[in-house]
Structure 1
Amino acid sequence: MMDTSRRRVGEFRGVAGPYWSLRPLGGGAEWEAEPEHVRPADPRERLSAETARVNARSRGDLL
């Protein structure tokens, strides 16, 4: 899912009151997003997020 207010791609994890919980691809801290700012990520956005995760992992960054 793409959170357009934060320009972040995440996996849908559930509903928390009026918000949706999203988690970065590959793990990390969840964040809450307003449903009206969330839409399915297009293939380019998902590939970009996955590439960033793989690059961070190769550098030894904590995910």
Structure 2
Amino acid sequence: MIDFIGNVKSGGVAEQIQIKTNKTLKRFCRENNLSYSSILNGYYSKKAKNTFKKVGIKVA
């Protein structure tokens, strides 16, 4: 069982990031130079989508 940090929705981007990279969404965004607030609001830039694809994260 994985212990999630913070309030993470089941099946969401933050949960997928924590499972695949063992990092929080905020840390993942900081390390990959992505906009944390945009991702929280559901906006995924091309750069974010490409980064997620490389890691294996599915985005709607």
TM bracket, shorter-chain basis: under 0.3
Higher helix share: 2
**Superposition TM-score, scaled by structure 1 size:** 0.27
Whose strand fraction is larger, Structure 1's or Structure 2's? 1
